[in-house]
Structure 1
Amino acid sequence: MPLPLKPLPLAVLAALAASAHAAPAPAPATDAHDLDTVTVTATRTERTLAEVPNTVSVIEREQLDRQLVRDLKDLVRYEPGVSVGSGTGRFGLKDIRVRGLGGNRVRIETDGIAVSDSFAIGSFSDANRNFVDLDTLKRVEIVRGPASALYGSDALGGVVAFVTKDPADDLAPGRDAHFDVKLGYESDWQGLFAGATLALGGERWSGLLALGHRQGTETRNQGTRAVDGALRTTPNPQERNGRSLLAKLVFEPDTDQRWRLTVEGNEDETDTDVRHLLGFQPRTRATTLSLIGDDHQTRARISLAHEHDALGSVLADRMQWQVYRQDSETTQATVEHQRNAAGVALRREREFDFDQRVLGMEAVLHKDFATGTAQHALTWGLELTRTEVRQKRDGRAITLATGQVTRVVPPDVFPVRDFPPSEITNAALFVQDEVALADGRLRLVPGLRVDRYALRPQPDPIFAEDNPGIVPADITETSVAPKFGAVWTFAEDWSVFGNYARGFRSPPYNDVNLGFTNLQHGYATIPNPDLKPETSDGFELGLRHAGPALHASLAVFHNRYDDFIESGVLVSAPPASPIRVFQSRNVAEATIEGLEFKAGFDFGAWREALRGLRLQGAAAWQRGEDARSGRPLASVDPARAALGLSYDAQAWGIGLHGRFARRQRRMPDLTPGVAQFTPPGHAVFDLLAHWDFAPGATLDLGVFNLTDRKYWDWADVGGLTAADPALDRYTRPGRSLALSVAFAW
């Protein structure tokens, strides 16, 4: 019997909402693009960036603090090739795109546990994946390109891995206690945040408690028309607040073992006065008088993990395993007052709920051995997950003059489920061998993963009544994802790398069994039990230099994607069928290729007199198109670059950073004869500074968009027409200030 999908309690967060997580005391400044930085996500083993056969970005806690990163869009501010869209109406941040691919095709995980899916349908239902408080993290790793050989179905486009803090990260050697607080402000959304972290440690036991709170209003843009209706260009009024909790208890029975119990929760609430949708609606001939949105999302997880560094077994030298449960829920309520075409005053209420629970376990084992002159680092493991997902839309219309209530709110007859409650089980085995040859100058990294995916819908009366005669389909798929990488150090400080990776994505529950029948409007959507997995073949070739002063990496990539699933394809229409029939189909084939460059130059390693001066830069160019029609892909960003010059002294530092984007040259022809909006290229400059003004006290300050440039991000405007009268609604904020002050004891 399926468990009821209700999140773990977060009431404790509300009681502690006045506190928040704080960053640790600042560490010495480092080059953000140093190839000696260690990554774990790329190969599931600790390797420097110079040793892995693909492109990976690692963003450490210090960099998050110095750049005043508060959300996902801030996180990739200086990461060309990765972008995050943002909504302008009500629902906030959109998906993360890695090399032009986004949505649920990019795996987002926290401590190895995948974040909930996104799901949207219609104008009043949009569950996103913004479930993580970035202040609780010690590191973020972004793996670009297909990574299904290690991470399975979610990683068709890449991996964004969040790693939360441990007690040891805050406890200095010889100290058994740490406490810090952090306060901050951001002017672009009048945002206030506060936090506190307590870490305690002993010989065998240690613990950490981090609490966070944030609140603010709508994010500013550079629109100037504060009118009601479609011509509005200023943001809708909003009130936002959220809170987070991270608690860890660590037990080390000896120097080779660690047990870790983690409880984590995040909660966000947003109230929106949706004023850009007010006024006369030409399609329905009704007049909307007011529209209020109340959106709430929570994520809670509990996990138990164990690490053993000295197994002494013929099968493994080291291992890590964990078991976990995670609950995520998005609820969105909309209250609309309108006068319909007949002049009748109505109150229309809509409610949307999307729940996802996952129970899982994973084990990763490592074995080092030699065969002749070859040194092997074998990594193998398994993953088991069971996911329960439910979605429902409900609503009613109330005639204010009579009090009459109806569940018919065109085009819906509530309640409805757009897909039946579903259970998804996934079992996977993976293996990878890192082979070092020629005294380590040549590294070969073959790998393979086998996934068994099973979808079991569990239709209930709501789905059955809304979809008479439709039987939801079961899906069982087995997918095999190989990979092969190589790194050759051909000269001191110089290496080349190459990588092939197969990616896949199992047919998702909402596409397999998306069902909806509306006889009043003459259409229906039906399930498709014959959907095939989406697949990809990714190729990457690169050159690296890792010298004492210069660190640089240049990579070219080509990814081919097959059998993309497109929702809502028209498959039948009158007179062939009584009504229009829509269905999800494997229809799309696409290619995305490009070039990425990253570099950092430490002037101090070149000339002692210039110690503390650094130059950092990155650039990305991408090109994507539908392989069948040749039409450009709207999800692919135009060429972007970032360049920063910084100076770090003993107790302070300052840097000027530029963000650059070229005009989108290849536009998708979304509607024949209708010109699409092409945002102009832009150059935006930010000034960042920090000051350790007392022992354990640090001030971080940022002035963003110094020149008050009016600009648009392509990730925010793809699909808009050039004739849209409200284009300024999609502009990014003008000049803004952000600061935080942290105290540590």
Structure 2
Amino acid sequence: MKKTALYCAMAGLTVVAQPAQALQQDVTSSNADIEVITVVAHRQPRQLSEVAGTVSVLSEEQMQRDLVLNATDLVRYQVGVEIDDGGSRFGDSGFRIRGIGGNRTAIVIDQVPVADQFSVGAFSDTGRGLMELGLASRVEILRGPASTLYGSKALGGVVAISLLEADDVLYGSNYGTRLQLGYNSDSHRAKVMAAQAYANQSGSLLLAAALQYGQELRSEGVAASDRDLQHHRQQGLLARLATDASWGRWQFTLDALQESRDTNIRSGLGEGRQASTTYLAGDDARQQWRALIDLEMEPQAWADTGQWRLYYQYSDTEQDSHEERMLLPEPLLIQRDFEFTQRTAGIGADLAKQFDSVGFAHRLGYGFELISSSLVDERDALQTNLTTQVSTNVLLGETFPLRDFPRSRVTEFGMYVHDEIELWEQGPVISPGVRYENYRLRARHDALFELRYPQSTVTDLTESAWLPKFGVVWPLSEQVEWFGQYARGYRAPPFSDVNVGLYYPQFRVLAIANPDLKAERGYTFETGLRARLTDHSITAAVFHNRYSDFIESRASLGFDPVRQLLIFQSINRDKVVIEGAEFEWQADWNRQWSSQLALAYSRGEDRETGLAIADVAPPQAILEVNYSNGDWESRLVLTAVRGQRELQDADGSLLFSAPGYATVDWVNRWFVADDLSIGAGLFNLTDRRYWKNSRVSGYPIADPSLEVLAEAGLHAGITVNYQF
């Protein structure tokens, strides 16, 4: 299949994949000229037929149709896109696109990047919550390296989330109210969202709030007494004021999020590292607020359109772990505390100008972004001997409190230009682009870090890169176009890898900084064909993504005879290749019946070791049959996933390979009135026990946590959407 994918790419036989559901919603069978509009691909509105790449657009209507309550629901029927999961305790940490996730995939909310995900050890993982989806009106997913427009962290792709605006809620001419309720029995999760909007000739006001509540996942085949019990709560507030003034339309946004998770971890107790542990509980909290000012600029001589933004974002995660080891001869009580804080300020602009030059029509996009972030973490611990009542702040050779990296400031500056040049009327459009990116990491003076790691050196780092992109869209007819693209991805060395805190004197272990750490780079080659016929649409794509200089955190360099220490350092590894194909077909058989088919195949290989990449999902297929009579819609959705190939880690130890599975969902929606709809669904109708690859990739084959990471059996969901 590897050679086949490459040959197809060279021959230009591929076709871009976009969600079949979006096609049903946004491309009518009677008018193939009505298309989905995307912003993420060019940072300017474009029809999907104008994009030399693969983009999925998930509208609010589609999210209601799929009974979306959280991020997992959002990508349930999206091939090639998964959720990075933090296990049974920490929740969602980001999106995985074509096998690349974590901080290697950019997530932006109203063009503001979300806070970094950071984890260390088994008791600290900030996650990302993704609570913003409770207030989202639209989500766009750009697949493959996209650093030309989005800079560092867009190595795997981009997920762009747009929050509600007043126009999304207005029902009458000057006001509107929206209420959304949702529940799913897979984890007894519930959601409530309310929004109120007002508008007049000069401006608008939006007020919205969302609340989500849930428990642990009801993993099929796992008794209630064996699950990791959890209660999690999320609250979100959104306020937006828009007004017409000088220079254009100004909008002021303030949103705040709060999340808490209380977890009683029971899987794995009494085994391995927790052989003597009898009780383990986590109390985790995350809060975030963001202030954003954006301007939709009136036309100027140097720009037909322009969007400016100025923002400040604060994110803080606190996680407490309580552990009891009562099976030891002298029982122990261990309390661990972790906190990670990130403050980010940024300014940016995306501008566009259309003009003719030397006989060619141009649509020029250009812009810049300057982001400054301060980051700090701290871990603390106290161990108490319950027999002697003696307490100590030294655990496994680590003296607490400590930091895993010195207080740091990261400054990122990028400026880009991207042109779309029509070679002749109704002819091919080429889209060259380039971005200059500069990344600066500065370690601040940190007395605590220096106290804990006196033998560690601290270094600053400056990286810069030119990131080109080139695309072609060639219309073959009004409804069919071929495309191809080459794009570069880039991820600067993270703060936690450049300066690493790790020193165990009693074990003679030391981690050292790496001032020569290189940025990770990605290169994507993709080509395709899109066809929108009267009653059918077909899209397909093949891609070849090559990544180099992947960063391995805290890799062992061996024993240093001079220092008499075992040295660890974050280093670059060589090439990783991920390639595959995606295909989607949508057909409207008549006014009531339609169907969609989505297929995805991908494979990943570490060219240095020859091992398969565990994060790359196995082949999958999603088949949907839909019936609609105007007042009622009913869908049967079959999801089939092939078993994961045999996986090994770098030491040759077997990893868990998720077995293949097939599930069937029955999703319905009733349009009770023009302003009221009710959705209901039964998921996993066959009560199948299965694992999603994204939840278990990288786990050892005998890991005791695997049982609670299985997906839920038969479960039901319901949503109510009311607008007045």
How would you bin the TM-score normalised by the shorter chain?
A: over 0.9
What SS does the aligned partner of 2:267 have? helix
Aligned twin of 1:615: 595
Distance change >3 Å, CA 366–CA 714, structure 1 → 2: same
CA distance in structure 1 between the aligned counterparts of 2:53 and 2:101, rounded to whole angstroms = 19
Aligned twin of 1:206: 204
Q: CA deviation at 1:459?
A: 3.4
Alignment match of 1:257 (pick from 235, 243, 248): 248
What SS does the aligned partner of 1:510 have? helix
- 1:418-446 deviations in Å (ceiling 9; x for gaps): 10010011111100001122213311111
Distance change >3 Å, CA 397–CA 419, structure 1 → 2: same
CA distance in structure 1 between the aligned counterparts of 2:366 and 2:609, rounded to whole angstroms = 41
Q: CA deviation at 1:667?
A: 2.9
Q: CA deviation at 1:562?
A: 0.9
Instruction: Tell me the C-alpha RMSD between the 2 structures.
Output: 2.0
Question: Does 2:650 match 1:682?
Answer: no
Is the 1:565–1:588 contact (alpha carbons within 8 Å) kept by the matching residues of 2?
no
Aligned twin of 1:376: 362
Question: Does 2:537 match 1:554?
Answer: no
Is the 1:131–1:299 contact (alpha carbons within 8 Å) kept by the matching residues of 2?
no
Which residue identity lines up with residue 261 of structure 2 in the other structure? Answer: T
- 1:610-659 deviations in Å (ceiling 9; x for gaps): 21422122211111111222211111110112121112222221111121
CA distance in structure 2 between the aligned counterparts of 1:282 and 1:160, rounded to whole angstroms = 38
CA distance in structure 2 between the aligned counterparts of 1:574 and 1:369, rounded to whole angstroms = 63
Aligned twin of 2:216: 218
- 1:541-571 deviations in Å (ceiling 9; x for gaps): 1111022222221111111111111111111
Question: Does 2:234 match 1:242?
Answer: yes
CA distance in structure 2 between the aligned counterparts of 1:713 and 1:509, rounded to whole angstroms = 31
CA distance in structure 2 between the aligned counterparts of 1:512 and 1:725, rounded to whole angstroms = 33
CA distance in structure 2 between the aligned counterparts of 1:299 and 1:32, rounded to whole angstroms = 40
> TM-score if structure 1 supplies the norm length?
0.90
Q: CA deviation at 1:723?
A: 4.3
Which residue identity lines up with residue 495 of structure 1 in the other structure? Answer: E
- 1:641-699 deviations in Å (ceiling 9; x for gaps): 21211122222211111211111235345443x44333221111111111122342211
What SS does the aligned partner of 2:72 have? helix
Q: How does 1:244-323 map to 2 (within 5 A)?
A: 244-253=236-245, 257-279=248-270, 283=273, 287-311=276-300, 313=301, 315-323=302-310
Alignment match of 2:189 (pick from 183, 188, 191): 191
Aligned twin of 2:3: none
Unaligned ranges ≥5, structure 2: 1-23
Q: Which moved more, 1:188-197 or 1:98-107?
A: 188-197
Q: Which moved more, 1:714-723 or 1:458-467?
A: 714-723
Q: CA deviation at 1:100?
A: 1.0
Alignment match of 1:694 (pick from 656, 667, 673): 673
Which residue identity lines up with residue 658 of structure 1 in the other structure? Answer: L
Aligned twin of 1:642: 622
Which residue identity lines up with residue 246 of structure 1 in the other structure? Answer: L
CA distance in structure 2 between the aligned counterparts of 1:413 and 1:377, rounded to whole angstroms = 59
Q: CA deviation at 1:412?
A: 2.1
Which residue identity lines up with residue 693 of structure 1 in the other structure? Answer: V
Aligned twin of 2:325: 338
- 1:9-30 deviations in Å (ceiling 9; x for gaps): xxxxxxxxxxxxxxxxxxx955
Q: CA deviation at 1:306?
A: 0.3
Distance change >3 Å, CA 479–CA 222, structure 1 → 2: same
Which residue identity lines up with residue 593 of structure 2 in the other structure? Answer: L
Aligned twin of 1:661: 641
Aligned twin of 1:607: none
Q: CA deviation at 1:275?
A: 1.5
Q: How does 1:445-464 map to 2 (within 5 A)?
A: 445-464=431-450
* Identical-pair percentage: 38
CA distance in structure 2 between the aligned counterparts of 1:634 and 1:282, rounded to whole angstroms = 23
CA distance in structure 2 between the aligned counterparts of 1:193 and 1:132, rounded to whole angstroms = 11
Unaligned ranges ≥5, structure 1: 1-27, 228-233, 604-609
Is the 1:31–1:602 contact (alpha carbons within 8 Å) kept by the matching residues of 2?
no
Aligned twin of 1:389: 375
Q: How does 1:203-602 map to 2 (within 5 A)?
A: 203-225=201-223, 234-253=226-245, 257-279=248-270, 283=273, 287-311=276-300, 313=301, 315-339=302-326, 341=328, 343-401=329-387, 403-573=389-559, 575=561, 577-602=563-588
Distance change >3 Å, CA 449–CA 29, structure 1 → 2: closer
Is the 1:99–1:145 contact (alpha carbons within 8 Å) kept by the matching residues of 2?
yes
Which residue identity lines up with residue 158 of structure 2 in the other structure? Answer: V
What SS does the aligned partner of 1:146 have? coil
What SS does the aligned partner of 2:43 have? coil
Q: CA deviation at 1:66?
A: 1.1
CA distance in structure 2 between the aligned counterparts of 1:723 and 1:590, rounded to whole angstroms = 27
Is the 1:384–1:426 contact (alpha carbons within 8 Å) kept by the matching residues of 2?
yes
- 1:120-174 deviations in Å (ceiling 9; x for gaps): 11110011122333131111000000100000011011001101111012224x6
Q: Which moved more, 1:427-436 or 1:126-135?
A: 126-135
Distance change >3 Å, CA 676–CA 32, structure 1 → 2: farther
Q: CA deviation at 1:86?
A: 3.1
Distance change >3 Å, CA 586–CA 722, structure 1 → 2: closer
Distance change >3 Å, CA 503–CA 86, structure 1 → 2: closer
Question: Does 2:716 match 1:737?
Answer: yes
Distance change >3 Å, CA 669–CA 419, structure 1 → 2: closer
Is the 1:32–1:63 contact (alpha carbons within 8 Å) kept by the matching residues of 2?
no
